[in-house]
Structure 1
Amino acid sequence: MMNSSLLTTGCRLGPSCISLLNRVAARTAATATSAASAPVTSESRANEQPQGTKDTEKKVKSARVSNSFVLNLYRGNFHPNELFPYPNVLNEEQKENVKVFIDPIWKFFEEKNDSVKNDINEKISEETMNGLKEQGAFGIQVPVEYGGLGLNNTQAARLYEVVTSHDLAVSICLGAHQSIGFKGILLFGTEAQKQKYLPKLAGGEYTAAFALTEPSTGSDAASIKTKAELSADGKYYVLNGSKIWISNGGFAEVFTVFAQVPSVDDKTGQVQNKMTAFIVERKFGGLTSGPPEKKMGIKASNTTEVFFEDCKVPVENVLGGVGNGFKVAMNILNNGRFGMVVGLSGTMKMAIRKAIDFAKNRRQFGRTIDTYGNIQEKLVRMETRQYITETLGFLLAQNMDRGSTEYQCEAAIGKIFASESAWFVLDEAIQIHGGMGFMRATGLERVVRDLRIFRIFEGANDILRLFVGFTGLQYVGTHLRELQNAVKSFNFNAIVGEGSKRLRRNIGMSSGPNINEFIHPSLHPCGLLLSKSIDRFGSTIEQILIKHGKSIRDEQFIVHRIGEMTIDLFTMAASLSRCTQSFKLQSPTAVHESNLVRIWCEEAHDRINSTIDTIQNPAFTARTKLMTEIAREMVDKESTVPVHPLGF
């Protein structure tokens, strides 16, 4: 129906074209927004009422333009600003400043830290903790004026890469301390709060923790139950509740704690809870910790439950303002994710080195196993995933240093890809080692146990995939709402743009955005694949919104796969950008990188096309209904359903 209307009237802008665009926008604009997790902005609400053509055109542009590469993919657009060229933010002096710390920290972990002993004792040794404090590792990004090293995100990323390649449990301790524990003070703290806390935190005199998760909340952070009520004299908040799975929870002196503050709404007179962040010190009293949790991995990392019983927190310790807790929490988590991505890149590199060393020395059937295709494919796929993870991590860190603020989807994708790639790489490294990989002496079994948590904490990957998908769908929905306003006010330019865009797609003239002008000539075949993939992805997103409307909220089978395609598109683009930079800088590894990128882009393109074909196939819809039915039967029985083959 849409195809025929646009073919016959798109160029002339006849009534049926305007009617069609109006129907498309009206049916999908509000529904995609309501499906997403983030609220509609006040600006977009204001734009719902049609105004003059000039005002509408201005608001259409302001509502639909985003600097996020990922969000623009959902409209079938290629937005290169934050991706091409691959950023290079460090000057020579900054590179030298971080190089000063790399060798000493590497040497420290090689000679002083005993990760096996830490794992067995389920505790990081005092020697390791004190040594890290002496190295300045507890204040990597704290400004120099507050006693820290003052490194930017990119410099810090290089150090995180070294730490995590040696000991994941230690990296968790350091990350819980500074990537999330006191990161809120850096991002939202008042000058008084920074002066009071940062010097002691940077020097390691105080250790920090991040206290958000509760027994009944998990990924639903906004539903926390911990309460903070203002005292009668208005001088402090009384904190009551509990948090679970808090890294550093057993010994931290300073906590970033999230609680609900009951407040009376001025308009309705009703009491409403406002999620709020607080800086809480153990010495305030009323704060106690449970025993260390027994865990599958990262055993040396201290993880406990934390309890608050009439804990009095001074009003000046509110962080970021009353009612801004969710904003504070999400900014902290997004801001710190680059550290996990680059860190896991270092872990993968360590495992790859071990696998190569074993493969080139292990002889089977008369030759070393590195000469067999099966092992060669494993090694290549391991390196490809490490390369892309490293690419994403340093892309994110450098864009943050360049002042990017809209990177929540890119950060989420980095976390998903890094944690799943690291799991894949370690599993393959163990497989290459055969039986030796299962032995403690090889040094891989501890790492694979430690890795499993990374797909869960700081945002479970399943939830983050949905977050990416719903955020992108909301962005398209907002654009289509503004398009509806443009049609109502007969904004000629907006209508022509949308009409011609759809016309080109529907008659097969659209080849997607021109990506090849941004990449090295040797990568042009991959650029063409990415261009076609972006164009088809954008068209598919719009069709899905038109088909499902508000019910897209309940279509997790589809949204999950949309998230998967987004990851493939972003990783394709990021790897093309980095590889192009390598050619530009005449790197000796540029050709090797281009071969990795070619394999990844060709296979990602195939996956995207296959996924689009699948979710548009009625057979897929039928299977999802079957899965829903089967899952309900399993839940009702609280077990597997089929009768045992022996009948008893």
Structure 2
Amino acid sequence: MKDITRGGQFLVKETKCEDIFTPEDFNEEQIMMRDSVKEFVDKELWPHKDKFEKKDYAYTEECMRKAGELGFLGVAVPEAYGGLGMGFINTMLVCDYISGATGSFSTAFGAHTGIGTMPITLYGTEEQKLKYVPKLASGEWFGSYCLTEPGAGSDANSGKTKAVLSADGTHYLISGQKMWISNAGFCNLMIVFARIEDDKNITGFIVEYDPNNNNGITLGEEEHKLGIRASSTRQVFFNETKVPVENMLAGRGEGFKIAMNALNVGRIKLAAACLEAQRRTVTGAVKYANERVQFKTPIANFGAIQAKLAEMATNTYAGESASYRAAGSIQERIESRIAEGNTHQEAELKGVEEFAIECSILKVAVSEDVQNCTDEGIQIFGGMGFSEDTPMESAWRDARIARIYEGTNEINRMLSVGMLVKKAMKGHVDLLGPAMAVAEELMGIPSFDTPDYTELFAEEKEMIAKLKKAFLMVAGAAVQKFGPDLESHQQLLMAAADMLIEIYMAESTILRVEKLAKKVGESQAQEQIAMAQLYLYHAVDIVSQKGKEGIVSFAEGDEQRMMLMGLRRYTKYVNMPNVVALREKIAAKLITENQYAF
């Protein structure tokens, strides 16, 4: 019987490799879907990158219509509302591979399918869904999401936009200003958040937009941005915009909940949307390194270049492993809830909400990896990398936004630890028991036996278990010391979050490779084994460094000495890996195949 883990439980529970979903598990339908998306990108997007860089918003809109015709906009939409009704993994897969050519299209696609369409499919009434979702799923209409305001960015619930009920009670009049609205220039429908009277929480509304009958809606000029240049981004001004009362989304004051849950889904999909960009960046860098000759040899032969290529590929592989592991967990949760009698709406909402911690972890990790990957891509290209004539420059600029939207990485770091503590308080994840066991273990005498590591990943798995103890030690002591005030100690939360992120990413990579090695044999997975070991090596370093930072921020005297000693014990290898040899092995595979080869 397959064991379904709850969100956040990876920290206190050993996961078997058989219980996770990996890209090697794609079924025939998923492989066909992936290939058709790649074909669309190669045909419609990649050859026209210059149009996106020259702010050709009309071309972005044209490509969105084509994506609608091919069914890509309706992958997550139930068949009853004109979509393909596919599972969560398929939705992730399309988000992943459609994002390979340009961040401009990726942003338009994500804003439309995620925060533009999804709030209606998950919170709309039957009438609202039947009226609007088929148009959005087909690409006849495009959606946008009006949440952010000049004074309300990360603090989404502090928006000043007002909704006033008309005297006859038939409609609301919305007035206010929204900014950074993706797709504003060509949308037909907006999900708008406004406050009714002095309500504690904002309310969501479905607002139709027709430029020929603007109904009090004015658009600002297109924003000029560092990257995602052909993604339409404008301010939207509402001046007593009439919205029928039946266009309220969910109930009064439920807008904040809609916004937060939409962001959870948006976060994991944003992680997916950074993956193909990394794969293509690695491939571009490898090809260039093989072609570029210096000192009478291709630069791919230089160890300094090989180290970069190996690290770029390893982080890409880790991001892929963790993203699809979480997608598989979410899909399982959704399916089990539907089997229990939940509606599609309830099942999807609760399924994603259950793994909100993992969604935040992925958003942070993969958005930072794509930035590093494109940065190293520029470095490998040298002076050419800085030129607009090569794709690295635009890839680097496009990657930068990923650390800001769907909640900044700082917010998501604090959220991941905060949500974990809340889950523990509610009894959904038992952190207290394991944290106390770690505290007791620290008082005992460590074993000096030399362990027998004959099985694949035996030491690596033991190391993951030790890293979890290091996190529990630091987080447990911090919760004990600060209680509810913990959230005001932001630097401590950030350090704990980095520990948590590395544990999930490293474990996901190891489990994926273990599953692969059991399927194809260890000899056929040598480079993947090397990537899992290389990623873990860095994770151990980060846990050690961030653990130290956390401990010295709140512990003193004997307590501090005891915890630092524990941290050294939990981040110590028995057999330190040869990192240079690992990188050389990974790079050799990339260079031989002349592409991202995993």
TM-score strictly above 0.5: yes
1:462 is aligned to 2:410: yes
Report the counterpart of residue 161 of structure 1 in structure 2: 96
Q: Which amino acid aligns with 2:143?
A: A
1:256 is aligned to 2:191: yes
Report the counterpart of residue 597 of structure 1 in structure 2: 532
Larger deviation: 542-551 or 376-385?
Answer: 542-551
Cα distance change on mapping 1:145 and 1:208 into 2, 3 Å = same
Report the counterpart of residue 361 of structure 1 in structure 2: 291
Equivalent of 1:299, from 205, 210, 229? 229
Root mean square deviation, CA, Å: 3.0
- The superposition leaves residues 153-205 of structure 1 with CA deviations (integer Å, 9 ceiling, x where unpaired) of 21232222222111210111111111111110111112111110011111211
- The superposition leaves residues 68-108 of structure 1 with CA deviations (integer Å, 9 ceiling, x where unpaired) of 453663xxx22538x76222697745336525733541443
- The superposition leaves residues 373-392 of structure 1 with CA deviations (integer Å, 9 ceiling, x where unpaired) of 11111011100110011112
Report the counterpart of residue 332 of structure 1 in structure 2: 262
* Structure 2 SS opposite 1:457: coil
Report the counterpart of residue 479 of structure 2 in structure 1: 545
If asked which structure has higher relative contact order (CA below 8 Å, sep 6+), I would say 1
Offset at 1:244? 0.3
> In the aligned structure 2, how far is the partner of 1:238 from the partner of 1:288?
15
- The superposition leaves residues 323-358 of structure 1 with CA deviations (integer Å, 9 ceiling, x where unpaired) of 211111111111233322122110011111111011
* Structure 2 SS opposite 1:360: helix
Offset at 1:396? 2.4
Offset at 1:223? 0.9
Q: Which amino acid aligns with 1:503?
A: E
Larger deviation: 99-108 or 390-399?
Answer: 99-108
> In the aligned structure 2, how far is the partner of 1:134 from the partner of 1:618?
55
> In the aligned structure 1, how far is the partner of 2:189 from the partner of 2:110?
14
Cα distance change on mapping 1:144 and 1:97 into 2, 3 Å = farther
Q: Which amino acid aligns with 1:506?
A: M
Cα distance change on mapping 1:501 and 1:557 into 2, 3 Å = closer
Cα distance change on mapping 1:153 and 1:528 into 2, 3 Å = same
User: Is 2:184–2:233's contact at 8 Å kept on the other side of the alignment?
Assistant: yes
Q: Which amino acid aligns with 2:224?
A: K
User: Is 1:105–1:162's contact at 8 Å kept on the other side of the alignment?
Assistant: no
Cα distance change on mapping 1:509 and 1:322 into 2, 3 Å = farther
Cα distance change on mapping 1:260 and 1:376 into 2, 3 Å = same
TM-score w.r.t. structure 1 length?
Answer: 0.75
> In the aligned structure 1, how far is the partner of 2:79 from the partner of 2:5?
31
Equivalent of 2:111, from 176, 180, 201? 176
Equivalent of 1:422, from 360, 366, 370? 370
Report the counterpart of residue 146 of structure 2 in structure 1: 211
Cα distance change on mapping 1:436 and 1:244 into 2, 3 Å = same
User: Is 1:209–1:248's contact at 8 Å kept on the other side of the alignment?
Assistant: yes
* Structure 2 SS opposite 1:616: helix
Cα distance change on mapping 1:589 and 1:178 into 2, 3 Å = farther
> In the aligned structure 2, how far is the partner of 1:383 from the partner of 1:582?
17
Report the counterpart of residue 323 of structure 1 in structure 2: 253
Report the counterpart of residue 506 of structure 1 in structure 2: 443
Within a 5 Å distance, the mapping from 1:18-97 to structure 2 comes to: 67-70=5-8, 73=11, 77-78=12-13, 80=15, 85-87=19-21, 92=27, 94-95=29-30
User: Is 2:20–2:329's contact at 8 Å kept on the other side of the alignment?
Assistant: no
* Structure 2 SS opposite 1:229: strand
User: Is 1:183–1:332's contact at 8 Å kept on the other side of the alignment?
Assistant: yes
Gaps of 5+ in 1: 1-65, 263-270, 485-493, 622-648
Gaps of 5+ in 2: 335-350, 557-598
* Structure 2 SS opposite 1:215: coil
1:279 is aligned to 2:206: yes
Q: Which amino acid aligns with 1:612?
A: G
Offset at 1:572? 1.4
Offset at 1:231? 2.3
Report the counterpart of residue 101 of structure 1 in structure 2: 36
1:244 is aligned to 2:179: yes
1:435 is aligned to 2:383: yes
Q: Which amino acid aligns with 1:236?
A: H
How many residues are aligned here? Answer: 526
* Structure 2 SS opposite 1:305: strand
Cα distance change on mapping 1:407 and 1:619 into 2, 3 Å = closer
> In the aligned structure 1, how far is the partner of 2:31 from the partner of 2:534?
35
User: Is 2:37–2:98's contact at 8 Å kept on the other side of the alignment?
Assistant: no
Cα distance change on mapping 1:143 and 1:579 into 2, 3 Å = same
Report the counterpart of residue 267 of structure 1 in structure 2: none
